[in-house]
Amino acid sequence: MPTTLEILTAPALSGLTHGFFTRKGGASSGVFAGLNCGHGSSDQTEAVALNRTRVADAMGVAPAAMVGVWQVHSADVVALEAPPAQKIEADGVVTATPGLLLTVLTADCQPVLFADRTAGVIGATHAGWRGSIDGILENTLAAMERLGATRANITAVIGPCISQRAYEVGHDFMENFLVEDSANGRFFAGGPNGKPMFDLPGYSLARLRAAGVGAAEWTGHCTYADPERFYSFRRTTHAGEADYGRLISAIRL
């Protein structure tokens, strides 16, 4: 199996070591084939550990410097100065400590990388629909501000995630967003099966811009539509597979 990793980077984050890793170049096999970095999957522990070591190497840090949280679809964000000694349940992590590699795992949800270069503050967030509607993105910005960042200087980049054309939802789902703000109707379109199609990255970009970030963008990659490059929870579900891999995204000062 090839070991060459594919790392998507964002021009908006140029100058910072960062990347949205695809599934290419990993040690996992079967339904996890490639760079599965999720210990929460049923993949072989050794394969996941090797994949994570390859990510650390690519980002120029030791594996021990990789920092992540136990993601629970919350709106909770933690600030860290060192790798935590125990598991922390949250969905966003921020730091002003050089050398820490902040990571998030996704498989259709949004990985969002944040940076205020001037202040030397970064963040990494797992933002599914629940976290986004509950304020995970705004909470990440607030946590960065507490470390000295300035909102207008923060750049936020959404990585590969499920796109609107693949994200069919129920009418009850849409109602959650319309109750929050009737203007959210613009993030839903009619689908081929008579159900709404939700624009998750569009919704999150709108929230980031409304929150006053200096710049916000999406890389434009759809996890569902590209099985060669990305894991997808929804695609796995549709295919009746038993489990799925997790993509990793990372950033460091």
Residue 223 near residue 236, CB atoms below 8 Å: no
Range of the domain at 13: 7-163+216-252
Place of tokens 């922390």: 88
In a domain, 168, yes or no: no
Q: pLDDT confidence of 242, banded at 50, 70, 90?
A: confident
Rounded Cα–Cα distance for residues 19 and 165 (Å): 25
In a domain, 173, yes or no: no
**Residues 93-139: pLDDT tens digits?**
999 999 999 999 999 999 999 999 999 999 999 999 999 999 999 99
CATH of the domain at 105: 3.60.140.10
State the helix-helix crossing angle for 136-146 and 200-210, rounded to 10 degrees.
40
Question: What kind and span of H or E run contains 130?
Answer: helix 129-134
Mean pLDDT of the chain: 96
Share above pLDDT 70 across residues of the chain, in percent, rounded to a whole number: 99
For residue 194, give the DSSP letter. Answer: S
Rounded Cα–Cα distance for residues 218 and 72 (Å): 23
**Residues 182-224: pLDDT tens digits?**
999 999 999 999 999 999 999 999 999 999 999 999 999 999 9
In a domain, 198, yes or no: no
Rounded Cα–Cα distance for residues 78 and 215 (Å): 22
Tokens of 243: 């489990």
Residue 53 near residue 42, CB atoms below 8 Å: no
Is the confidence at residue 2, as pLDDT, over 50? Answer: no
Is the confidence at residue 3, as pLDDT, over 70? Answer: no
Is the confidence at residue 151, as pLDDT, over 70? Answer: yes
Q: pTM (2 decimals)? A: 0.96
The total domain count for the chain is: 1
In a domain, 174, yes or no: no
